[in-house]
Structure 1
């Protein structure tokens, strides 16, 4: 598929002008429209579940109450039927983890993975505000972590967009410098920043994820709802038309790869699939949602396709 970049975008730098238009696209994923998360899963006709419900109290059962809401523990303890009452969830904190670290500063086709992460973050920010929620963020460049407290109305998305654009410029100028080789600092920031009951979305390639971080993930999971959006580049799946030899580096080691060999491209693909499986197993073990998104082309075109 042939893609064209959005207005004001070059695929490497990030500008406020290229992120602001997502404000006009949120209506596509508001009830009763399609769910954004279903779009990422490729289920284009899935039903939007709408907003959740918060537990309010337990009281004695009254005629007409939904029997599915009966609290069987209280009923057994008191000997009289009791039912749970709920109130509609009005406003919840939505916290984004936005990865702008060195591994995200890569793109073999349309854009860097960091740019796609920024576009996804902008869309989610405006969507949160459209749903009357508060939006905050933890932006991790690999060498610094910036925390933005959850804010309602336009101030939240605008602050996130401005910080992402500024920090991307810093990340590009500091490419190759020493940085954290783990997501630990970002995860610690999330645990500090997120109020109980937050909706947390991690947007990253998760190259810096390590098994030692599981306790921090579990700590977040116990109090909040977590979604992972795995950003990847087609080259990481072994997809490339290049058939020459190239020196590649992960900042720890460098080696020459011959892309004309099927074994080279298949080896890259298998490494990606192993990484993806590791993330999916992590999500399954903690009942977190896993989604993936390519940097191959603009976000809205991928969602529409």
Structure 2
């Protein structure tokens, strides 16, 4: 790991500490609506100011039977040729549940920090933001072999419980590298994300905000019926974490053995066609995710591990 200068305070880019994650408590104030919404900033959209009595405009989705006809968004309907409805959320305490992927592929970083560390920073920022908005925060942590549910809780206890669990599971996995390489004999590779999505379905009351954080390599079907089911009754957001090496961006020019826990191979990074082929495969995966999110009305954000989180968030327009 190089370039420590742009890591946030208390962070070494590999292990997690409570001080490192508590740093985002004081940062969360910069992203509080209505002055500035984090989601409006990173997706380039602007949430409208409050409408009517205690209602916030949330999003637009395809019309479903039973929707109030007065809420139809005629501009989107005309543009897409399909009826779309404006959704509003009441100003009340709502559960926000994070899906946190701590499976082996997330423990990777070629420059500044591991993808898992960047994701933990985002989880911390979102947790404190959620509490500042008077919402409850919970999580499903998925190691690929085990699921840990954290029920949505309000006030500071919510983020602290979540962050302590996250730090412990993250650092335990790092301290037992063989655990990632040799899971229980019955199953040699991490399970798909389906069990995590099922856990979210069980844990989240209708009307929750669900934020999926992962590199999504274990999402076997981007058009998964489980995603559709979650999306029916909740606001779902997807934050995709990546490392430059995954799309062939590296200053290294030579042969390197790479592995994805199932198989390993040698890649010649001095070959332009090798790097291009890595980039194409990555883009195929990314475009599949983006298309799926678009068709399901899920907001999609990409975050890289090669820059500090706040640097990237303030760079988004």
Shorter-chain TM-score bucket reads 0.7 to 0.9
Instruction: Give the TM-score normalised by the residue count of structure 2.
Output: 0.82
Larger radius of gyration: 1
> Structure 1 residues 159, 8: closer, same or farther in 2, change over 3 A?
same
Question: Paired residue for 2:127, among 121, 125, 128?
Answer: 125
Moved more, 126-135 or 182-191: 182-191
Measured in 2, the distance between the counterparts of 1:69 and 1:299 equals 36
CA shift, 1:213, in A, is 7.0
Measured in 2, the distance between the counterparts of 1:143 and 1:213 equals 23
Q: Which consecutive segments of 4 or more residues in structure 1 shift more than 4 A?
A: 67-70
1:156 correspondence with 2:158: yes
1:256 correspondence with 2:255: no
1:291 correspondence with 2:301: yes
Aligned to 1:49: 48
Aligned to 2:224: 214
* Kept in 2: contact 1:95–1:137 (CA 8 A): yes
Unaligned regions of 5+ residues in structure 2, if any?
Answer: 58-68, 73-87, 184-188
Aligned to 2:209: 199
Superposed CA offset, 1:119-139 (max 9, x none)? 000000000000010110001
Alignment: residue pair count = 275
Aligned to 2:248: 238
* Kept in 1: contact 2:104–2:261 (CA 8 A): no
CA shift, 1:47, in A, is 3.5
Q: What SS class does the counterpart of residue 150 from structure 2 fall into?
A: strand
Moved more, 181-190 or 226-235: 181-190
Aligned to 1:89: 91
Unaligned regions of 5+ residues in structure 1, if any?
Answer: 56-66, 71-85
1:167 correspondence with 2:172: no
* Kept in 1: contact 2:145–2:191 (CA 8 A): no
Alignment of 1:16-55 (within 5 A): 16-41=18-43, 43=44, 47-49=46-48, 53=55
| CA root-mean-square deviation | 2.2
Aligned to 2:108: 106
* Kept in 2: contact 1:129–1:135 (CA 8 A): yes
Aligned to 1:226: 236
* Kept in 1: contact 2:48–2:56 (CA 8 A): no
Measured in 2, the distance between the counterparts of 1:300 and 1:215 equals 34
Instruction: Give the TM-score normalised by the residue count of structure 1.
Output: 0.85
* Kept in 2: contact 1:128–1:134 (CA 8 A): yes
Aligned to 1:247: 257
Measured in 2, the distance between the counterparts of 1:50 and 1:167 equals 39
Measured in 1, the distance between the counterparts of 2:25 and 2:89 equals 28
Aligned to 1:63: none
